[in-house]
Amino acid sequence: KNQVEQSPQSLIILEGKNCTLQCNYTVSPFSNLRWYKQDTGRGPVSLTIMTFSENTKSNGRYTATLDADTKQSSLHITASQLSDSASYICVVSLNTGNQFYFGTGTSLTVIP
Partner 1 sequence: NAGVMQNPRHLVRRRGQEARLRCSPMKGHSHVYWYRQLPEEGLKFMVYLQKENIIDESGMPKERFSAEFPKEGPSILRIQQVVRGDSAAYFCASSDLLAKNIQYFGAGTRLSVL
Interface residues with partner 1 (CB under 8 A) are 31-32, 34, 36, 41-46, 49, 89, 93, 95, 97-100, 102-105
Cα 64 to Cα 73: distance, rounded to the nearest angstrom: 7
Shortest distance, position 16 Cβ to partner 1, whole Å = 28
Shortest distance, position 4 Cβ to partner 1, whole Å = 9
Shortest distance, position 33 Cβ to partner 1, whole Å = 10
DSSP assignment of 13-63 equals EETT--EEEEEEE--SSEEEEEEEEE-TTS--EEEEEEETT--EEEETTEE
Of 1 and 112, which has the nearer Cβ to partner 1? Answer: 1
